[in-house]
Chains A and B, each alone.
Chain A
Amino acid sequence: MRRTGRIRVATIDSGVNPSHPHVAPIAGGVRITANAVDDYYTDFLGHGTAVAGAIREKAPSVDIYAVKVFDRALATTGTILLRALDWCLDSGMDFVNLSLGTLNSSYLQAFQERILRARELHCTIVAAYEIDGQPALPGCIAGVIGVVLADKCPRDRYMRHRKKGRIVYSASGYPRDIPGVPPEYNLQGISFAVANVTGFLAAEAASPCTGK
Chain B
Amino acid sequence: MKNICFYFQVHQPLRLKRYRFFDIGQDHYYYDDFQTEDRLKTLVEQVYLPANRTIAEMIRSSNGKFRCAFSISGIALEQLEQHAPEVIDSFKELSKTGCIEFLAEPYAHSLSSIFDESEFIRQVNMHADKIDGLFGKRPTSFFNAELIYSDEIGELVSKMGYKTMMVDEAKHVLGWKSPNFVYTHSYIPKLKLLVRNHKLSDDLAFRFSNRSWSDFPLTAEKFIDWIVKTPDDEKVINLGMGYEVFGLIQQTYTGIFEFLKALPYHAMEHHVNFMLPSELSKKYEPAGALSVTYPMCWVGNDKDLTPWTGNDLQQEALTKLYAVGERVRLCSDKPLLHDWLMLQSSDHFRYMSHKDPYGTNYETAYDAFMNYMNVLADFLDRVDAQYPTTIDNEELNELLKTINQQEIEIETLENEIKKLKSKKDKLANGK
Q: Do the two shown chains form a genuine complex with each other?
A: no
- Write the residues of chain A forming the contact surface with B, with a CB cutoff of 8 angstroms: none
